[in-house]
Amino acid sequence: MKVLIVGAGLAGLRTAESLRGAGFAGEITIVGEEPHFPYNRPPLSKDALANGLTIADLEFKRRESIADVRWIFNDSALSTNYAERSVLLESGRLESFDILVAATGIRPRVLNVPGAEKSKFSLRNFTEAQELRTSMLGAEKLVIVGAGFIGCEIAATARKLGINVAVVAADPEPMFRPLGAEFGRAMRERHEAEGVKFHMDAKIAGYLGGDSATGVSLESGEEILGDLVVEAIGSLPNTEWLAGGELDLQDGVLVDSSMRATAPSDLSVYAVGDVARYAFDLFDSTPRRIEHWNLPTETGRRAGKSIAHFLTTGEVLVEPVNFVPSFWSDQYEDNVQSFGIPGIADSINVVDGELAGDCVVEYLRDGKVVGVVGVNTSAKLAPYRKRFQEIN
C-alpha cells in the first residue's frame, strides 16, 4: 500500500505522522515543490522578515516515526491520472498511489493590472521572504496592496525597520472580511498611530514605473509612490494538478469530515490544510476553506487516522468536524488572537476592555457566539475553544 502526499508543508507532515501513529506501515512518499523540509510560515511576515531567520530556524522537528518517509523535493505535481492512480510530476516522473493526499496549500493571488513588472513582491514562502527582506532593507517607502493579515503584518514589520508604509486596499477597513468593520477600524487606528498611511476603498488602475514598480495609480487618479510594492490580496488554492476527475475543486478540494474528497466514485483522494474545504460542524454545515495555522494539524491528524482506518477495515470513519479554527497575528507589540469563525457573525459585543486597547470581543450570529477575537488577552480567550466544543 502506498500513500502519496503532495505538498511538503505542515499539513503533509502532520498527515504522515498521523498515518504512522494510527499504525499504517506501508509506503509514504511526500512530494514538495520547494527545496525544504516542512517549515513554519507565520514568522515569514514577522521575525524572519524583521531579523532574517534561516530555514533551519523555521523547519519543524520531524518525528522518529516518519524517518522512513520518502521525500521528493524541487518537484511539483502537474496532473493526476485517476484511472491509473498516478501523479505526473514536473520532472517527468510518474508517482503511483493507492491513496492520494492533497496538501498543496495556496498561492498568493496576483493583481491583474498593467504597468511595471519588477520590484513587485508577494509573500508565501521562505525564498520570497528572503527576497522581500533584502529589498526592504534598502527601501525608504513600501507600498502594500491589500490590508488583510499578511498585508498588515508586513506593514508592522516594515515600520519596525523604520520604513515608511502606505497600504492600499479595496475594502473599507483592514482585516474587514475576517474581523468586520469595527474591529478593522480599531486596528487601522493602531497602525496609523505607528505612522502607516491607509488608502481604503481604493481601486488600483496600474503599476507606476518603467521596468520596476515605483508605486501604484488608483482609479481615482491618485498616485501612491514607493521604492517597492508588495501584493497581499488573498490567495488561490493549488488544485490545478487535480483537475480532470470527479472532485469538487471550487475554492479548494471539497472533503467530508474524514478529509476524504467528496466524489461519486473516487474514495482514494483526501485533502488537508489550507487547500481543503469542509463543513465546521460546530458552527454550521457550509463548507469553508480557512487558512489558519491550527487546521493543517487538525486535518492532517484526521486524514491519517481516517486513511489507516479505511485501509484496515474497508469502512469510512464518520466523526464530526470538532475543530475550532484559531489564529493569532502579531502586529507591533499587539497580539491579536481568535477562536471560532468571526467572519460569519452579524454583530459584535465587546465583553472586556475596549476596541482601542486590550480587549475581548465576541462575534455573534443570530444572537449566538460564533467567534471571539482579542488583543493581548490570550488567557481570557483560551476557554472559548472548549466553550465552542461544549455548547455547539
Could you list the residues that contact ligand FAD (CB under 6 A)? 6-12, 31-34, 41-42, 44-45, 76-77, 103-105, 123-124, 150, 238, 241, 273-274, 291-293, 296, 327-329
Structural contact between residues 370 and 283, judged by C-beta atoms closer than 8 angstroms:
yes
Q: How far apart are CA 58 and CA 48, in angstroms?
A: 9
DSSP structure string for 105-169:
-EEE------S--BSEE--SSHHHHHHHHHHHHT-SEEEEE--SHHHHHHHHHHHHTT-EEEEE-
Residue closer to ligand FAD by CB (options 218, 330) is 330
Residue closer to ligand FAD by CB (options 77, 208) is 77
What's the closest the beta carbon of residue 273 comes to ligand FAD, in angstroms? 2
For 261, the grid coordinates are 474528497
Residue closer to ligand FAD by CB (options 31, 369) is 31
Q: How far apart are CA 374 and CA 267, in angstroms?
A: 41
What's the closest the beta carbon of residue 352 comes to ligand FAD, in angstroms? 22
Beta bridge mates, 108: 235
Residue closer to ligand FAD by CB (options 208, 292) is 292
DSSP structure string for 272-321:
-GGGEEEE-TTT-S-EE----THHHHHHHHHHHHHHHHHHHHSS------
What's the closest the beta carbon of residue 385 comes to ligand FAD, in angstroms? 14
Residue closer to ligand FAD by CB (options 169, 259) is 259
Structural contact between residues 156 and 142, judged by C-beta atoms closer than 8 angstroms:
no
Report the amino acid identity of residue 280. Answer: F
For 240, the grid coordinates are 490545478
Q: Give 221's contacts (C-beta < 8 A, 6+ positions apart).
A: none
For 77, the grid coordinates are 505535481
What's the closest the beta carbon of residue 147 comes to ligand FAD, in angstroms? 15
What's the closest the beta carbon of residue 230 comes to ligand FAD, in angstroms? 11
Beta bridge mates, 294: none
What element of type H or E holds 21? helix 10-21
For residue 391, the SS3 value is: helix
The DSSP letter of residue 59 is: B
What's the closest the beta carbon of residue 49 comes to ligand FAD, in angstroms? 8
Structural contact between residues 263 and 241, judged by C-beta atoms closer than 8 angstroms:
no
What's the closest the beta carbon of residue 332 comes to ligand FAD, in angstroms? 14
Residue closer to ligand FAD by CB (options 169, 208) is 169
Residue closer to ligand FAD by CB (options 306, 329) is 329
What's the closest the beta carbon of residue 311 comes to ligand FAD, in angstroms? 23
Residue closer to ligand FAD by CB (options 39, 217) is 39
Q: How far apart are CA 78 and CA 25, in angstroms?
A: 27
Residue 19 neighbours by CB distance under 10 Å = 29
What's the closest the beta carbon of residue 104 comes to ligand FAD, in angstroms? 4
What's the closest the beta carbon of residue 373 comes to ligand FAD, in angstroms? 13
Residue closer to ligand FAD by CB (options 29, 217) is 29
Residue closer to ligand FAD by CB (options 10, 308) is 10
